[in-house]
């Protein structure tokens, strides 16, 4: 069996082995895509057969709230904390990501940390945008993920 955690782009998915007694977990966060676009929620904008199949076999959420920017949304979904509590209230992060998100006096506990504590292997794919990878190359692992396939935040090629 597999635990599957995906972030940002629905085409970007990463797989990690999980214990056979645990349920599979799939989390998909898609930027700029509303439920009204997905077939499982009655949407007609796009054909989404694989997402529809996942929804038919698992748990679906009918009510959710989102932040108006992708950076605060990521920090919120990873930690379960409002952006003003996690320090990521803009797409520039904590001091322009000179301090990677989740570090500091009290490091953030992410859902990946909690899943690992329950025996899951964790993986993430897509857009990270919570640090500068050249300054914090182990940030994703520090946030609890065993493996990842991400593209970093960049500003004009830096």
3-state secondary structure of 57: helix
- Tell me how far apart the alpha carbons of residues 94 and 100 are, in angstroms, rounded to a whole number: 7
Paired tokens of 2: 């597999």
- Tell me how far apart the alpha carbons of residues 152 and 117 are, in angstroms, rounded to a whole number: 26
Q: What is the pLDDT along the chain (158 residues), one digit of tens a residue?
A: 233 444 333 333 344 454 467 788 888 877 777 778 888 888 888 888 988 998 888 887 777 777 788 888 888 889 988 888 888 888 876 666 667 777 766 788 999 999 999 999 999 988 887 887 778 888 889 899 999 988 765 555 44
- pTM summary value: 0.73
Paired tokens of 131: 């640090």
């Amino acid at each position: 069996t597999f635990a599957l955690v995906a972030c940002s782009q629905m085409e970007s998915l990463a797989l990690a082995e999980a214990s056979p007694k645990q349920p599979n977990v799939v989390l998909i966060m898609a930027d700029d895509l509303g439920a009204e676009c997905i077939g499982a929620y009655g949407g007609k904008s796009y054909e989404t057969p694989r997402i529809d199949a996942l929804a038919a076999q698992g748990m679906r959420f009918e009510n959710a709230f989102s932040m108006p920017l992708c950076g605060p949304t990521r920090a919120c979904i990873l930690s379960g904390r409002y952006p003003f509590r996690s320090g990521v209230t803009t797409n520039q992060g904590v001091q322009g990501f000179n301090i990677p998100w989740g570090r500091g006096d009290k490091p953030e506990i992410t859902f990946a940390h909690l899943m690992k504590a329950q025996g899951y292997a964790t993986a993430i794919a897509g857009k990270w945008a919570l640090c500068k990878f050249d300054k914090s190359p182990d940030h994703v692992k520090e946030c609890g993920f065993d493996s990842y396939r991400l593209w970093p935040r960049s500003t004009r090629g830096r």
